[in-house]
């Protein structure tokens, strides 16, 4: 009894200091899954600060397919390998909503929503999103979206240099807000700028300090609260505006009102949709243009494909602006008749879009690779385990959309960027359409190349895999130097 009491007391004391007693007394209650040594707080801090490097280096050091560490009081099991991956994406007991809760730092959560994030029903959210992003609604709104992009591009002028990780994100943000809210908001440039600034403020609040010590009254906590409150107040005004309108519109807010949702729930859906669409679609659109800025052959093939679509489907005159000709192309053609652009987007996602995903085990204990995953444990997986793995993709860091062609040697390799198994991406088709629209208008309207700050041509930059949201390039920033060739 004395030893048991001492062991428990020592364990509690060391846990407060971030040390596991397993490594002081290796024969006592040794965990079945390899647990990282050292201070738990240091491991958690390193993971939150550099997730990609943390996972890769520890898999290499330990030689295990699974290893465990702690984030606050939560046990997290990092996994890799084929067996673990298939279970991660297909096990019905693994919950992605609760997994995201652990790292919700930058995800906007409205405080007075009836179903807060701890009880948030992802299935219900997806049902709401499908009411907003279905093909029929996108068809109706596509000419307006093209006009939005055109007007923003007019501000660029006939020639110049722009930052894809700023200017392209601004295009995507406007498109996403229009899809997710109402025309009164989307048509107000000043409010769009204010909303965009609040979102970036929210994104930057997801610091390791803010995630590990959410109670700490620091800058991150203050910025997060200010951003969420500001977004709530702004969107609440527009929801009230649409409720008071004499005639409902086809805008997202009206669709959600007609579905019987209260204001707070509508605002939660809009904030979540804008955050996800803005970050992910903006990232991929920017990187597609970056890669094509150094790959003339693929850029020429993409331009030829888009021109073929215009010739085949746009019943418009050549004198009309390019954005109007593009908006006349039917949705079916955008989805089914762009194999070159599809391959370019897919390859960009393979290299760049490698997030660290989370699940929580809400079922009974189960086995992975001969190890036990306890009920309540979190699991984490970075999809670069497949996408940047030479076992699946030859020369994985090379931008080569041809690898997915019928004759490509990597065409049958696993591809996880849009989700798989029980967790496919609800907004995949909408995201693809938005990316194609931006890329098509840029390629048809401008001749451009990728340059450094002094205007010299550069090679494709390396991706900062530890940049959790934007995946900006490593090292010096790059720019797109452009010259308008069509209206």
Rounded Cα distance between 281 and 348, Å, is 12
Bigger pLDDT: 288 or 137?
Answer: 288
CATH code of the domain in which 444 resides: 1.10.630.10
Query: How high is the pLDDT of residue 10?
Result: 39
Q: How confident is the model at residue 100 (pLDDT cuts 50, 70, 90)?
A: low
DSSP H helices, 244-357, are: 252-258, 263-292, 296-313, 322-327, 331-336, 339-352
Is 163 inside any structural domain?
yes
Q: Which helix (H) or strand (E) holds 137?
A: helix 135-154
Query: How high is the pLDDT of residue 21?
Result: 39
Rounded Cα distance between 416 and 424, Å, is 9
Bigger pLDDT: 126 or 444?
Answer: 444
Q: Which domain holds residue 114?
A: 110-354+383-484
Whether 84 contacts 65, CB under 8 Å: yes
Is 89 inside any structural domain?
no
Q: Which helix (H) or strand (E) holds 95?
A: strand 94-95
Residue 54 pLDDT exceeds 90:
yes
Is 99 inside any structural domain?
no
- SS3 state at 69: strand
Query: How high is the pLDDT of residue 362?
Result: 87
Structure tokens at 214: 């959410």
Bigger pLDDT: 311 or 278?
Answer: 311
> Which residues is 160 bridged to in the sheet?
482
Task: Select from 356, 359, 379 the least CA-distant residue to 369.
Answer: 379
Is 63 inside any structural domain?
no
> Which residues is 457 bridged to in the sheet?
451
Whether 483 contacts 158, CB under 8 Å: yes
Is 373 inside any structural domain?
no
Sequence-distant (6+) residues with CB within 8 A of 197 are none
> Which residues is 94 bridged to in the sheet?
361
If you search the block for the tokens 């409902």, which residue do you land on?
248
- Within 13 Å and on the Cβ side, how many CA atoms surround 50? 9
Q: What is the mean pLDDT of residues 30-49?
A: 85
| Mean of per-residue pLDDT scores for the chain | 84
Query: How high is the pLDDT of residue 220?
Result: 79
Instruction: Fill in the DSSP letter of residue 23.
Output: G
Residue 327 pLDDT exceeds 60:
yes
Query: pLDDT (tens digit, 9 = 90+) per residue, 248-298?
Result: 888 999 999 998 988 988 998 898 888 877 788 999 999 999 999 999 999
Query: How high is the pLDDT of residue 14?
Result: 41
- Within 13 Å and on the Cβ side, how many CA atoms surround 55? 24
Q: Give the 3-state DSSP-derived string for 319-336, with helices as H, strands as E and coil as C.
A: CCCHHHHHHCCCHHHHHH
Q: What is the mean pLDDT of residues 422-438?
A: 85
Cα R_g (the chain), whole angstroms: 24
Whether 387 contacts 354, CB under 8 Å: yes
Q: Which helix (H) or strand (E) holds 451?
A: strand 446-451
Residue 121 pLDDT exceeds 50:
yes
Bigger pLDDT: 5 or 139?
Answer: 139
Is 20 inside any structural domain?
no
Rounded Cα distance between 235 and 283, Å, is 24
Q: How many domains does the chain have?
A: 1
Is 428 inside any structural domain?
yes
CA dihedral 62, 63, 65, 70 (to 10 degrees): 0
- Within 13 Å and on the Cβ side, how many CA atoms surround 126? 12
Rounded Cα distance between 300 and 295, Å, is 9
Residue 119 pLDDT exceeds 60:
no
Rounded Cα distance between 119 and 98, Å, is 8
Q: How confident is the model at residue 156 (pLDDT cuts 50, 70, 90)?
A: very high
Residue 115 pLDDT exceeds 70:
no
> Is 444 annotated in some ligand binding site?
no
Q: What is the mean pLDDT of residues 22-29?
A: 38
Is 49 inside any structural domain?
no
Rounded Cα distance between 8 and 15, Å, is 10
Q: What is the mean pLDDT of residues 62-68?
A: 93
Give the pTM.
0.87
Rounded Cα distance between 141 and 37, Å, is 54
Long-range contacts of 30-36 (CB under 8 A, 24+ apart): 31/68, 32/371, 32/372, 33/64, 33/66, 33/67, 33/68, 33/77, 33/371, 33/372, 34/62, 34/64, 34/66, 34/67, 34/68, 35/67, 35/68, 35/69, 36/62, 36/67, 36/68, 36/69
Rounded Cα distance between 467 and 474, Å, is 9
């Amino acid at each position: 009894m004395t030893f048991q009491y001492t062991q428990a007391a020592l364990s509690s004391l060391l846990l407060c200091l971030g040390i596991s007693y397993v490594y002081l007394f290796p024969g006592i209650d040794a965990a079945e899954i390899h647990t990282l040594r050292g201070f738990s707080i240091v491991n958690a801090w390193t993971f939150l600060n550099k997730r990609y490097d943390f996972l890769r280096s520890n898999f290499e050091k330990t030689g295990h397919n699974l290893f465990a560490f702690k984030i606050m009081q939560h046990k997290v099991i990092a996994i890799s390998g084929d067996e673990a991956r298939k279970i991660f994406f297909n096990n019905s007991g693994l919950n992605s909503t609760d997994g995201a809760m652990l790292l919700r730092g930058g995800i906007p959560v409205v405080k007075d929503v009836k179903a807060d994030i701890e009880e948030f029903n992802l299935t219900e959210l997806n049902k709401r999103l499908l009411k907003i992003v279905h093909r029929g609604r996108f068809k109706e709104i596509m000419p307006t979206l093209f006009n939005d992009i055109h007007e923003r591009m007019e501000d660029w002028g006939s020639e110049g240099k722009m930052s894809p990780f700023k200017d392209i994100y601004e295009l995507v943000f406007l498109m996403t807000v229009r899809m997710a809210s109402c025309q009164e908001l989307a048509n107000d440039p000043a409010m769009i700028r204010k909303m965009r600034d609040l979102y970036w403020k929210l994104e930057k609040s997801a610091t390791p300090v803010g995630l590990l010590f959410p109670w700490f009254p620091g800058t991150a906590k203050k910025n997060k609260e200010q951003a969420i409150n500001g977004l709530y107040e702004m969107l609440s005004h527009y929801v009230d505006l649409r409720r008071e309108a004499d005639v409902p519109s086809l805008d997202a807010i009206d669709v959600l009102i007609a579905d019987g949702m209260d204001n707070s729930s509508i605002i939660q859906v809009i904030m979540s949709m804008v955050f996800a669409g803005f970050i992910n679609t903006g990232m991929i659109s920017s990187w597609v243009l970056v890669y094509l800025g150094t790959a003339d052959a693929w850029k020429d093939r993409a331009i030829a494909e888009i021109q073929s679509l215009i010739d085949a489907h746009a019943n418009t005159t050549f004198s009309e602006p390019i954005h109007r000709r593009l908006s006349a192309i039917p949705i079916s053609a955008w989805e089914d008749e762009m194999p070159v652009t599809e391959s370019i987007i897919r390859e960009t996602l393979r290299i760049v879009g490698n997030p660290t995903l989370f699940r929580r085990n809400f079922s009974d204990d189960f086995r992975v690779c001969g190890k036990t995953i306890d009920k309540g444990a979190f699991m984490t997986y970075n999809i670069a385990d497949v996408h940047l793995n030479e076992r699946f993709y030859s020369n994985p860091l090379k931008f080569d959309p041809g690898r997915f062609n019928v004759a490509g040697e990597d065409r049958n390799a696993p591809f996880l960027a849009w989700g798989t198994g029980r967790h496919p991406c609800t907004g995949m088709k909408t995201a693809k359409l938005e990316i194609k629209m931006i890329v098509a208008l840029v390629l048809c309207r401008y001749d451009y190349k990728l340059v450094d700050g002094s205007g010299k041509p550069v090679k494709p930059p390396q991706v900062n895999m530890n940049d959790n949201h934007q995946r900006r390039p490593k090292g010096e920033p790059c720019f797109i130097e452009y010259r308008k060739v069509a209206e």
